[in-house]
Structure 1
Amino acid sequence: MKKKIIIGSIVLLVAACIAYLLKNKVDDMFLLKKYAEVFDKKNISENFRSLQDQYPSIKFNKSSQPYSVPKNILGNDIFPKDFVFKNKIYNVSEEIKKRAITSLLMIKDGKVIAEYYYRNNQKQKPVIIFSGTKSIISLLTGIAYEKRYIESLEDPVVKYVPALKGTVYEKVKIQNLLDMSSGVNWSEDYGDIRSDVVQSILSTLKGSLNDYPKRMTRKRPQGIYNQYTSMDTQVLSMVIAGATNQSIQDFFKNSLWDKIYAEDDAYFLVDKKGNPLAYGGLIISTRDWSKIGLLMLNGGKNSKGESIFSEKWIKESITPTKSQLMPGKRSNSDSEEGYKNQWWFPINREGMDFSAIGIYGQTLYINPKRKIIIASNSAYADYTEDPTGDSRRLKMFQAIAQHTDSIITAKENSKR
């Protein structure tokens, strides 16, 4: 009789475990289905402007003394008619429409020369920039380093994040996080429910994104291969928080947000524990995003001449030195674009140009030689089915920068 009771209890326990797993699976699928609806073609533009209302977020108030970039609006002739990408001619106006660009703001010599909004977007509206957030986390790393919160970029993660002791990230150097050369196992496939990026999103929706590294494994030694790994940036934010003894949101507000004298409110998406999605959760207006570009062009100084980070940090960030980071096709990277310190470099650089890039078309393009910035948002629903989309967009912005510069130069010469 006792044996039957034990067997019966085991059967009930197994059944309970199966029911629990099935329920968790159903709950997970429901959460991911709801998240996937964000990218529905019919509502994607509006969703990208309202994620702060759909998911937990932290608000950053606009400045009480907002800075508006001076304007010198020019005509539509600053855009070239066409540009060439991979030996094929593309029409600029058609690309803007087909790739669902929702904003395009252009700065030349410190003045706004063009500002366009499409698909019901508005100048005051903050928009999710997804992985464009990574470049901002890089700047926060530079600030923490230059203020000596971080002693060395060669320091291992565990020095500042003891919670990651015993994990795959324990001995990874900070510089290798910046360069996405950590060597960890990671899949960035948004179309695969089992991929790390999707599972990390699930961790965000259910609990703590910062716990996800504890389940990760190593693929190769660090520092030899550039593989796009969003979790490297999330761990970088944990390093900043540990080094400064401030939450990443507080350090962002005090060290960067308050220094650009924002015109509009911004938001940071957070997980269930209140940790910001440092790898892709910043929601910011196109105008205020362009001010990050101005900092990069102006040697790290803001509109009041205050130094936020050094020109040396900028130069080091946009000058790749290791083979896996150089632009062009290479065996030690999963991308043809170059990469360093969470910034992207076009395959064929022009004027030392570089960009912050987020999925679905978010781009902050900066050309130091031509003193041009292009801040742009997009709601390109077919993004995941267009593997050359980012490269083509960078090529279009290069063409716009070159054409604009030539038009302005010609007009200036005609006045002499």
Structure 2
Amino acid sequence: MTSTTERPAASREPSWWDKQGDLIMRRPFNEWTFTHMNWLMPTERVARGATHLPLPVGIRPLNVRYRFQDRDFTLSDLHRRTHSTAFVVLHRGTIVHETYPGAFTGSRSRMQLFSLSKSVTSILVGIALRDGLIGSEKDRITDYRPDFLGTAYEENTIAELLDMTTGVGDLETWEVPNSGIKQFEQTIMGGGDIADVVRAATRTAPAGERFNYSTFDTQMLGWVLEAATGQSLATYASEKLWQKLGCDRDAYYWLTRGRPRTAIGGGSLNATARDVARVGLLMANGGVAGDEQIVPAEWVRRSRGNDRPQLAVGSLGPSGYAHYGYANQWWTLGSESRDAFTGLGVHGQYLFVDPDAEVVIVKCSAWPTQDDERRDAETVAALRSVADHLAHR
């Protein structure tokens, strides 16, 4: 059933709190805020395990040039032109290149990952499905969250959340003051229950028909996961990922200011670049870390792409750039030679995985705007060039 509920009306005059998200994300402040979100928001710890498993380090020159808009550039050019704050490259499980161009970053800095968090949420859902805590991806959302009966999400399945084909919500546009995502952000920062914002979303297309990038969809996915496991995202991520990967540091999710406080499964994970690289290495190795199959191999495979035409590279429509497809909360980059895929976050956060080249790259950034098609295309060109270079070594 389609909801006809209007968005929650503002209960007070706009204040500094309503603009806080804009201030946090504005350059040059974002070079600091993106590494200090725990100073700005309530948080919940993603505890690392008692066993630390250091990544091997074998730094060597990475003299890579990439071509963009008919010009050749170096990696130093990339960092300057796209405001890199961290850049870590793994080849065959070894750190071969690592630099921290950000003013406040280093190997122990925990980076605000924004929507790269969505890919981690997907991994956790895959684990919960394997363990039988979620019965099936064909289950309805309301099997786990009956409080969404009577909303636009009432008939949607978990599978539709994973591929963002629910048909719920408007185009995710940060520049429109009253858009769904801006309402969501203002409620996160200023108080109130974000579930009310998500419940007010309306249906804009039949389920399964088209792709529409939606943080609401991933927020629902995180809530389904928490309901199914009986644990918070942070606790479950600690138990199923951080402890098993032997991470360097605790990660954390920041939480909404209003109560009930909740993590943003689509955007509030913070972790070191090296620990994010560990997550990428897990995916590059088919879900295996050490001698344990942590994520089902089939779950990893489906994250590399599928045969659904509306999710193919170049077919995503207005909420996806032409060089991307989508699958399972990951952006796909299928090519004739290799099927690389990447987690993405606004302001230039990347977890690039090329399993065939045995390459994982983490790039964190502090772009002046949430989205930037030119900077994104340039970054993808550079990351592909790094993977191509290492694939022949």
TM-score by length of 2: 0.91
Q: What are the residue-to-residue correspondences of 1:136-151 with 2, within 5 Å? A: 136-151=120-135
State the 1:333 CA deviation.
6.5
Partner of 1:306: 292
Which residue type is aligned with residue 211 of structure 1? D
Contact kept in structure 2, 1:224 and 1:332, CA below 8 Å = no
What's the CA shift for 1:355? 0.4
Gap change, CA 1:335 and 1:181, over 3 Å in 2? farther
Cα deviation digits, residues 283-303 of structure 1 (max 9, x gap)? 100010000011112221223
Q: Deviations for 1:148-187, whole angstroms, at most 9, x for unmatched residues? A: 1111111111111111111111111111100011101223
Aligned equivalent of 1:352: 339
Separation of aligned partners in 2, 1:183 and 1:306: 37
Q: Which amino acid aligns with 2:273?
A: T
Shift of 1:33: 1.7
Structure 2 spans left out of the alignment, 5+ residues: 1-8
Q: Structure 2 CA distance, aligned partners of 1:349 and 1:52? A: 42
- Compared with structure 1, are the counterparts of its residues 126 and 281 closer, same or farther at alpha carbon in structure 2 (3 Å cutoff)? same
Contact 1:183 1:219 (C-alpha < 8 Å) held by counterparts: yes
The two structures, once aligned, show a CA RMSD in angstroms of: 1.9
In the alignment, the residues of structure 1 paired with residue 157 and residue 241 of structure 2 have an alpha-carbon distance, to the nearest angstrom, of: 24
Determine the C-alpha separation between the residues in 1 that align with 2:20 and 2:369.
18
Distance (whole Å) between structure 1 residues aligned to residue 318 and residue 206 of structure 2? 12
Structure 1 position 370 matched with structure 2 position 357: yes
Please list the CA deviations of residues 180-204 of structure 1 after superposition, one character each: whole Å capped at 9, or x if unmatched: 1110122321122211111001222
- Out of 227, 243, 246, the position equivalent to 1:242 is 227
Q: Counterpart amino acid of 1:24?
A: R
Change (3 A) 1:36 1:306: same
Counterparts of 1:112 and 1:228, CA distance in 2 = 32
1:322 aligns with 2:305: no
Task: Indicate conservation of the 8 Å contact 2:309/2:315, yes or no.
Answer: no
Supply the distance in 2 between the matched residues of 1:349 and 1:214 (Cα, whole angstroms).
42
Return the offset for 1:88.
5.0
Contact 1:328 1:347 in 2 (8 A): no
Residue 383 (structure 1) shift: 4.8
Aligned to 1:183: 167
Do structure 1's residue 51 and structure 2's residue 37 form an aligned pair? Answer: yes
Matches within 5 A, 1:283-302: 283-302=270-289
* CA–CA separation in structure 2 for the residues paired with 1:162 and 1:320: 30
Q: Identify the structure with bigger relative contact order (alpha carbons < 8 Å, sequence gap 6+).
A: 2
4+ residue runs over 3 A deviation: 85-92, 329-335, 347-350
8 Å contact kept, 2:251–2:272 = yes
Checking the alignment, whether the CA contact within 8 Å between 1:325 and 1:333 is kept in structure 2 is no
Relative distance call for 1:333 and 1:55 in structure 2 (3 A) is closer
Q: Quick one: distance in 1 between partners of 2:312 and 2:155?
A: 25
Correspondence for 1:251 among 222, 236, 247: 236
User: Residue type matched to 2:156 in 1?
Assistant: V
Where does 1:19-168 land on structure 2 (aligned, <5 Å)? 24-27=12-15, 30-75=16-61, 78-81=62-65, 83-85=66-68, 87=70, 89-120=72-103, 121-168=105-152
Contact 2:334-2:340 at 8 Å conserved across structures: no
SS in 2 for 1:374: strand
Residue equivalent to 1:274: 261
Equivalent of 2:382 in 396, 413, 416:
396
**SS of equivalent to 1:363:** strand
Tell me the CA shift for residue 329 of structure 1.
4.2
Check conservation: 2:111, 2:364, Cα contact below 8 A: yes
Q: Specify whether residues 105 and 349 from structure 1 end up closer, same or farther in structure 2 by C-alpha distance, changes over 3 A only.
A: farther
**Counterpart-to-counterpart distance in 1, 2:11 and 2:151:** 29
Aligned 8 A contact 1:107 1:372 in 2: yes
How has the CA–CA distance of structure 1 residues 279 and 245 changed in structure 2, closer, same or farther, with 3 Å as cutoff?
same
Name the SS for the 1:356 alignment partner: strand
Q: Structure 2 vs 1, CA of residues 88 and 255 (structure 1 numbering), >3 Å: closer, same or farther?
A: same
Give 1:93's aligned amino acid: S
Q: Distance in 1 between matches of 2:377 and 2:216?
A: 23
Distance in 1 (alpha carbons) for counterparts of 2:334 and 2:375: 13
Query: Quick check: which has more Rg, 1 or 2?
Result: 1
Per-residue deviation at 1:404?
Answer: 2.7
Paired residue secondary structure (1:112):
strand
2 CA distance for matches of 1:209 and 1:252?
A: 22
